[in-house]
Amino acid sequence: METPLPFAGLIEFAPGFRPRQGLTHVLFDFDGTLSLIRQGWPDIMVPMFTEILPPLPGETEEQRRQLAFEDIMRLNGKQTIYQMIQLAERVTERGGVPGEPLNYKHEYLRRLDERIRHRVAGLRDGTVPRDDLTVHGTRALLEALSARGLPLYLASGTDEPFVKAEAAALGIDHYFQGHIYGAQDDYKKFSKKMVIDRILAENRIPGESLLAFGDGYVEIENTKQIGGLAVAVASDEAHNGSGRFDEWKHRRLLGVGADLCIPDYRDLEPLLALLFPR
């Protein structure tokens, strides 16, 4: 079902979607769902993987790039370390001697920092408008949900200190009232599933009461596993505000069970009316 009134922009529903009552807590992913500070990160990670992967006989660099892209995006939404573990496994498969995944992660973060440090600096000194680096309509959505008294949580596969610093630079950290969680160097101490389980346990709510927004398969899949309602945000990160779906995200996220898919938050009022029917 495409663009039903009163939605002015794109929206797509899963075949079995039905509005529900009783959504009381909201979970957000960060990068690509709220923040665009790290927009273009695959342009850093894919070349790094391609550089490290030993080539197979007759294999072109483009074929290695495609393999790297598929491995990376399949794990998008999980902690970065899982992509690096996958890289180490691929190196071993190809007869090479892999480095430590944690070292790969730190090298990737070093390269990424070279790309994005000016964005964070610009946010902090006011030369970069905050809304330029948030998904279109983010601030209005967070404000509206907070005004309804809904507790908001943020869980990211990006390292926790960076998530907290970047949320603060964007001026959205206060909406989460301390509930900002991210990856750890000891990766077994964090997962989005662990955050979801904690939300349910601490608030003594059923899974059906959780609403989640995300642009990665992990938060969508984890939310559906406990019976929550999952909104896929197939954000067009390179063209913020275009109103178009990123088609890779669009297909992938509906494929793992998202209840509905939007490109951004331009249709705030009809979206809230849909999610919180009277």
Asked if residue 155 and residue 118 are part of one domain, the reply reads: no
Q: Does position 158 have pLDDT exceeding 50, yes or no?
A: yes
Burial of 270 by CB count in 10 Å (0-12 exposed, 13-18 middle, 19+ buried)?
A: middle
Residues 121 and 179 in one domain: no
The token pair at 200 is 């349910």
Residues 115 and 144 in one domain: no
pLDDT digits (tens, 9 = 90+) for 32-61: 999 999 999 999 999 999 999 999 999 999
Same-domain check for residues 156 and 182: yes
190 occurs within a structural domain: yes
Q: Based on the domain organization, do 158 and 251 belong to the same domain?
A: yes
Residue 138 within any structural domain of the chain: yes
The pLDDT-based confidence of 2 (bands split at 50, 70, 90) is very low
Rounded distance between C-alpha atoms, residue 74 and residue 84, angstroms: 13
Q: Domain of 54? A: 42-125
Within a domain: 7: no
Is 94 inside any structural domain? yes
CA distances from 259 to 128, 146, 229 (A): 34, 22, 6
Same domain, residue pair 25 and 159: yes
Per-residue pLDDT, 1? 41
Is the same domain home to 120 and 170? Answer: no
| Integer Cα distance of 76 and 69 in angstroms | 10
Domain total for the chain?
2
> What is the rounded CA–CA span in Å between residue 258 and residue 26?
15
Q: How confident is the model at residue 4 (pLDDT cuts 50, 70, 90)?
A: very low
Taking Cα atoms as reference points, which of 248, 231, 263 lies closest to residue 3?
A: 263
Which of residues 92, 107, 125 is at a domain's end? 125
Pick the last residue of a domain from 108, 125, 142.
125
30, 58: one domain: no
Say what the pTM is: 0.92
Answer yes or no: do 53 and 24 share one domain: no
Residues 49 and 162 in one domain: no
Domain final residue pick, 125, 153, 187: 125
Beta bridge partners of 26: 152, 211
Residues 150 and 223 in one domain: yes
Give CA–CA dist 206/185, Å, rounded: 31
In a domain, 68, yes or no: yes
The pLDDT value given to residue 272: 95
65: region left, alpha or beta (phi > 0 left; psi from -120 to 50 alpha): alpha
Q: Tell me, yes or no, whether 264 and 141 share the same domain.
A: yes
The CATH number for 17's domain is 3.40.50.1000
Q: Is residue 1 part of a domain?
A: no
